[in-house]
C-alpha cells in the first residue's frame, strides 16, 4: 500500500516524544542496531542521522531491518497476549465456572498480572469481569423463559440471594422483573488498526469504536440512555459475525457489510448516517456533498457534528468524508487510521 510519509523532522520529533498519533503512519529503522520500531517504542532514542523512516513494516523488513522485541512492530497495535487469548476463550465458553487465584496459578498465570490486564483493558478486575459474564449468561437464559432458581445455580452462584443481589446490581432490576430489559453485550476485537470495542443486543449491532477514542465513554453513556440498556461483557452470534466480516474487510475480501445495525439518534443524524452508507467503497465525499445529499445545504457544520457522532466506525463509513479540497479532516479514531482505511479501500476497489 503506497502512502506518503510526513516530513522526516516531524516523524523524528514524534519518535522522540513517543507520539501515539503516528503509530501506524511510519516505522523507524535504526542503522546502529539493525532493528525497526514503532514511533511509540520505549527504547532509548538514537541520533537523527542513525534513523531511517518507512511507510510499512514490510518496507523495513525488505530493507534488511529486524523487528524490535520491545515494541513488536509486526503485531497489530494492542494485540492480546497469547495467555490472555486462551484465558478469555475458557471463561467465555464456561462463564459459570469460578476461577480463584489458586486456579489461575495452576494454569501458570500470575493473579496480579491477570488483574492488571483486565483493569487496564476493561476497567474492572478479573473477578468483576467473571461476575458480569455470569450475569450475561443468566440474562440470556431468563430471556428464553428459564426459571430463576435453576438459572442462578447454572450460572455458578452458590445461593439464590447472592444471584439476585448481583443480578440487580448489574441489570438494575430483579430477575423476575427484567424480561423487558435490554442488555448490550460488549467485546474487544483486534484489528490491524488496534483494538476496537464492539457492542450488540441480541438482534442488532449498536457499537463499533476504536478503544482509545476519547469520546468512547460518552458514546457508551448515550447508547445506554437511548436504549435504556445496561452493558455487560460477552459475545453472541452477531458479534462473532461482525468479527468475521471485519477480518474479511481488512484483508480486502469484503467491501459491503451485511449486518443489522441499530442507530438511535435524531432524525437529522439518521439522515446523515443513511447517506454515509451510500458512499461507494473506495470513494470519498466532502461535508458539503453530504449536506447536499440530505438536501440541507446550509447545515454543513451540523453534518460534520453528526458525522462525528457516528458510533459504528467502518460499518457506517464516516472515514469516507474529506475536506472540500480533498484533504483529510477530523476523525475520532485519528487521521492515521482514516488514511489507512481510505488507502485500503482504494487499493482493493474493483475497477
The angle at the Cα of 193, spanning 189 to 194, to the nearest 5 degrees, equals: 50
Q: What three-state secondary structure class fits 81? A: coil
Whether 226 and 283 have beta carbons less than 8 Å apart is answered as no
Identify which of 91, 12, 102, 2 has the alpha carbon closest to the alpha carbon of residue 49.
12
Identify which of 332, 129, 331, 63 has the alpha carbon closest to the alpha carbon of residue 212.
332
Give the start-end residues of each E strand in 138-281: 182-189, 196-200, 205-210, 229-233
Element (H, E) at 77: none
Whether 281 and 303 have beta carbons less than 8 Å apart is answered as no
Residue 182: beta bridge partners? 229
Residue 188: beta bridge partners? 197
Whether 47 and 30 have beta carbons less than 8 Å apart is answered as no
CA distance 67 to 333: 26
CA distance 43 to 235: 37
CA 273 to chain centre: 19
What is the sign, positive or negative, of the torsion defined by CA atoms of 347, 348, 349, 351? positive
Whether 71 and 37 have beta carbons less than 8 Å apart is answered as yes
In the chain, the largest separation of any two C-alpha atoms, in whole Å, equals 70
**Grid cell in block for residue 97:** 465456572
| Dihedral-angle region of residue 289 (phi above 0 means left; psi in -120 to 50 means alpha; beta otherwise) | alpha
* Catalytic center residues: 318
Amino acid at each position: 500500500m503506497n502512502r506518503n510519509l510526513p516530513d522526516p523532522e516531524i516523524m523524528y520529533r514524534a519518535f522522540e516524544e513517543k507520539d501515539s498519533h503516528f503509530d501506524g503512519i511510519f516505522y523507524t529503522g535504526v542503522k546502529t542496531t539493525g532493528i525497526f520500531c514503532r514511533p511509540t517504542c520505549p527504547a532509548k532514542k538514537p541520533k537523527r542521522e542513525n534513523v531511517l523512516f518507512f511507510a510499512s513494516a514490510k518496507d523495513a523488513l525488505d530493507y534488511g531491518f529486524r523487528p524490535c522485541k520491545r515494541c513488536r512492530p509486526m503485531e497489530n497495535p494492542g494485540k492480546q497476549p497469547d495467555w490472555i487469548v486462551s484465558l478469555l476463550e475458557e471463561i467465555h465458553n464456561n462463564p459459570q465456572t469460578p476461577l480463584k487465584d489458586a486456579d489461575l496459578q495452576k494454569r501458570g498465570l500470575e493473579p496480579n498480572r491477570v488483574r492488571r490486564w483486565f483493569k487496564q483493558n476493561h476497567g474492572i478486575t478479573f473477578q468483576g469481569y467473571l461476575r458480569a459474564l455470569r450475569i450475561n449468561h443468566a440474562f440470556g437464559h431468563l430471556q428464553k423463559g428459564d426459571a430463576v432458581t435453576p438459572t442462578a445455580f447454572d450460572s455458578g452462584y452458590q445461593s439464590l440471594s447472592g444471584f439476585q443481589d448481583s443480578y440487580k446490581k448489574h441489570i438494575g432490576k430483579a430477575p423476575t422483573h427484567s424480561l423487558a430489559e435490554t442488555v448490550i453485550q460488549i467485546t474487544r476485537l483486534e484489528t490491524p488498526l488496534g483494538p476496537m470495542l464492539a457492542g450488540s443486543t441480541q438482534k442488532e449491532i449498536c457499537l463499533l469504536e476504536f478503544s482509545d477514542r476519547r469520546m468512547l465513554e460518552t458514546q457508551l453513556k448515550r447508547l445506554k440512555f437511548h436504549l435504556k440498556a445496561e452493558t455487560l461483557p460477552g459475545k453472541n452470534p452477531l458479534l462473532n459475525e461482525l468479527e468475521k466480516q471485519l477480518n474479511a474487510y481488512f484483508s480486502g475480501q469484503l467491501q459491503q457489510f451485511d449486518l443489522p445495525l441499530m442507530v438511535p439518534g435524531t432524525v437529522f443524524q439518521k439522515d446523515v448516517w443513511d447517506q454515509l452508507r451510500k458512499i461507494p467503497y473506495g470513494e470519498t465525499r466532502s461535508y458539503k456533498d453530504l449536506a447536499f445529499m440530505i438536501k440541507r445545504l446550509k447545515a454543513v457544520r451540523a453534518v460534520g457534528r453528526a458525522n462525528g457522532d457516528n458510533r459504528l466506525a467502518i460499518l457506517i463509513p464516516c472515514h469516507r468524508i474529506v475536506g472540500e479540497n480533498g484533504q483529510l479532516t477530523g476523525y475520532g479514531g485519528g487521521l492515521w487510521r482514516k488514511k489507512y482505511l481510505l488507502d485500503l479501500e482504494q487499493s482493493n476497489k474493483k475497477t
